Amino acid sequence: MEGNILTLIYIIASVTFILGLKKLSNPAKARNGNLIAAAGMTLAILGTIFLYKDENGNTLHNYGWIFAGIIIGAIIGTLAANKVKMTAMPEMVSMFNGMGGACAALISIVEFNHLSETFTVPGWSEVPWNLTGGMIGHTLTIYAGCLIGTVSFAGSMIAWGKLNGKIKDFSFKGQHILNLVVLAAILVLIVYLLFDLNPANYKLFYLIPLLSIVYGVLFVFPIGGADMPVVISLLNSFTGVAAACGGFLYNNKVMLTGGILVGAAGTLLTILMCKAMNRSLKNVLIGNFGGSNATSSQSKTGGNYKEISVSDAAVAMAYARKVMIVPGYGLAVAQAQHACHELEKLLEEKGVEVKYAIHPVAGRMPGHMNVLLAEADVNYEKLLEMEQANDEFKTTDVVLILGANDVVNPAAKTDPSSPIYGMPILEVEEAKMVIVNKRSMKPGYAGIENQLFYQPKTSMLFGDAKNVLQQLISEVKNL
């Protein structure tokens, strides 16, 4: 009876995961989606704690340790989530994702230790390992969970350090070859242990997590610049797959379903990010993706740029028919999303059509700008994806760029020597007038000088995004 109730709970929880994931596609419904999925997870956890029984009818015990861990984790998570700034959200996502990978890896290590206890049972080695019923699949799942979870943990920690500026990009000649050698060594070790596991060599298993840490670090170290959103989504998919391995090990249907959903969503998002960056997924996997060349190469564009005053910019937008706003990381740094929304409403009161052009990899993580603007209650219908926005730039009077850089750089279309050549961009230069708000003329995150800044249609409006927007609001009100 209890088993049937637990199965029903798992089905309900799995449905909430799917519903929550569906709602995440719309920023207006994303918060409810998170709450629905969280409620399902809470139900699944409590059901497992109080109703689970193994094949021998044994229930869980050590409730004190279990609930102590839950309470401590809930307190830390709540405090971290409330304290984190929107600009720090990408590195927080990386850290939490890494913790998920670490948990999956620890599950595999604990299960291997449990399995290794059978190695001391007399006569166990007399049974051919590869003929033992179900043992190959069980052991392979342990190895896969350990490998993938550890790589996700190590890679996510490096990504966290790179996003907050504590770790610099690092690469050396032949690094991608070394990455492949390390990965091949791990796979060979797994195959060896899978078919020749005995008391004399089973401790070689612990080389798997050690080598996986090395691979995870080397895998992410050379990745830099605007390429980081792709590696975040890829590592997220790794964590999902590792969690699914844990579901296989424990025959836990809700853990398996959740892991598969995260893994599949992360994989699809990675493919979309690669398409948006015009990169190869194969290069991501071998750790040769957007490395030092992308961060150190400098376009020698140079030339003269022109500035525009706040009052002139306000007049241009207030008397325009259509204004497109292109948000970037500078908007997040300045916490200017609410001021941006206020300017949007003022312009609309004057009869101006205002929309937002969102590049898939703007910011530091997938969907960063969507989340930022949703926080300010910007109407989701006004957020145009890159293809839609590019169709409308030709009929746009003024484009206001707030801290975006690489995603509007024409070098991606015109300069074959540029590291971002071939990357689809927002074609803002098609508009009648372009106003770029930046703190200075320094290159963006990819370290590449932007040709757009020197074009005749472009005017620079220097300053902190929030301060500039507040000044624009004042000027528009006075018109």
- 383 bridge partner residues: 356
Q: Angle 432-438-443 (CA atoms, 0-180°, nearest 5)?
A: 100
* HSE (side-chain half, CA atoms, 13 Å) at 277: 28
307: β partners: 460
| Residue among 300, 301, 358 nearest 329 (CA) | 358
Any idea what the Cα angle at residue 428 is, between residues 467 and 464, rounded to 5°? 15
Q: Which two tokens stand for residue 252?
A: 């836990």
What is the spatial distance between Cα 3 and Cα 177, in angstroms, rounded to a whole number?
50
Q: Quick check: 429 and 452 in contact, CB under 8 A? A: yes
DSSP string spanning 176-207? HHHHHHHHHHHHHHHHHHHHS--TTTGGGGGH
Using alpha carbons, select from 224, 213, 222 the residue that is nearest to residue 101. Answer: 213
Residue 415 annotated as catalytic: no
Phi, psi of 312 (to 5 degrees): -65, -40
Long-range Cβ contacts of 124-129 (<8 Å, 24+ apart): 125/198, 125/199, 129/195, 129/196, 129/197
What token pair was written down for 206? Answer: 């612990």
Note the residue count of the chain.
Answer: 479
SS3 4: helix
What is the pairing mode between strands 383-385 and 433-438? Answer: unpaired
The CB density around residue 455, as the number of other CB atoms within 10 Å, is: 16
Instruction: Give the N- to C-terminal CA distance of the chain in Å, as an integer.
Output: 72
Structure tokens belonging to residue 278:
């015009």
Catalytic residue among 196, 227, 391, 406: 406
CB-based burial, 167-190: b 16+ in 10 Å, e otherwise: bebbbeeebbeebeebbeebeebb
> Which active-site residues does the annotation give?
406
